[in-house]
Amino acid sequence: MRTIYFVPMIHTPSDMGSLAPALSESSADILGKELWNEHQKTVFRFWDSVSRFFSSLQVCNIKIYQDGLVAAGEDGLKIVNEGIRQGSVNYEIISDLLRRGAILMKTEDIILVQREYSYIKKLTSAKSTRERETTALRYKLAQRKLLEDRDNFIARTIGSTLKEDDTAILFIGAYHDVLSKLPIDVRTVQVKELTKVREYHKLLTKINLKTRVQYQQLAEYLASPVLITGTDQKYGVEMKRQVRATPTNTFN
């Protein structure tokens, strides 16, 4: 059976390259400085937890599929190194995995990724409220179909390149729906639970006195040591085996 370790990502502004400053400023304005800073600490601890988990695994020949990665080989490495230069912890973890023998895989269609990036770039560079609202509406109308097309492409790519008894890691944004589109013989192991990552995002933008405790509980879960349960895609049953990561070293 083929196996994928699934990481539902919490994106950081640095994952967006040159758009990072505008996205950080926009997010801080929406959430408020205090909550934004609190969120940034949670994100750092989330990635530290993920990093510690993977540092405890044997990863030689494990295939790496990455959100937005449109190339493998030397071109893929250039993308990884540029992500590191921009401050992406996600790409730092991938670089560490590659040094330890993992294999970088082309994951996405460059045309689809560029199309979404274009929408976000127009949104962050809008000069007026009217322009921003118009661009946001156009993006919203296109986003669902664009996301579905990307997810279908990713699932097909994994299905065709992940061979029998192969193991892989998929780093993907939490609002993608790749898992349901994978072949039935691909077993998924959630490094962090997708439903909890999505709920954290939801509460982050709608936090109030009633939801504050739940929000804090989810933040603590995201930062906690990895405790994973796998799900057999073919039978839809929870695996009995649970694994708590005991890190052999800390990723820096």
Q: What is the per-residue pLDDT across 173-229, written as a single tens digit (0 to 9) for each?
A: 999 999 999 999 999 999 999 999 999 988 887 877 788 899 999 999 999 999 865
Task: Give the pLDDT of residue 239.
Answer: 38
Task: Give the pLDDT of residue 250.
Answer: 36
Give the residue-averaged pLDDT of 28-52: 83
Place of tokens 């993907």: 172
Give the residue-averaged pLDDT of 3-23: 68
- Asked whether the predicted pLDDT for residue 158 surpasses 90, the reply is yes
Q: How far is CA 29 from CA 4, 33, 100, 179, in A?
A: 37, 7, 40, 33
Residue pair 192/8 in contact (Cβ under 8 Å)? The answer is yes
Percent of the chain with pLDDT over 70: 82
> 204 or 98: whose pLDDT is higher?
98
Give the residue-averaged pLDDT of 103-132: 87
Task: Give the pLDDT of residue 140.
Answer: 82
Task: Give the pLDDT of residue 149.
Answer: 96
When the pLDDT of each residue in the chain is averaged and rounded to a whole number, the result is 84
- Strand duo 2-9 + 186-190: pairing: parallel
Rounded CA-CA distance 26/163 in Å is 42
Give the global pTM: 0.82
- Asked whether the predicted pLDDT for residue 235 surpasses 70, the reply is no
Task: Give the pLDDT of residue 53.
Answer: 96
Give the residue-averaged pLDDT of 99-125: 90
Task: Give the pLDDT of residue 19.
Answer: 42
Least confident of 64-78, 151-165, 203-217, 234-248: 234-248
Q: Give phi and psi for 238, each to the nearest 5.
A: -75, 135
- Asked whether the predicted pLDDT for residue 144 surpasses 80, the reply is yes
Say how far residue 74 (Cα) sits from the centre of its chain. 22
Task: Give the pLDDT of residue 15.
Answer: 55
Q: Is 241 helix (H, G, I), strand (E, B) or coil?
A: strand
Q: Give phi and psi for 219, each to the nearest 5.
A: -60, -40
Task: Give the pLDDT of residue 145.
Answer: 93
Rounded CA-CA distance 198/193 in Å is 9
Q: How far is CA 246 from CA 49, 95, 193, 226, in A?
A: 11, 21, 19, 9
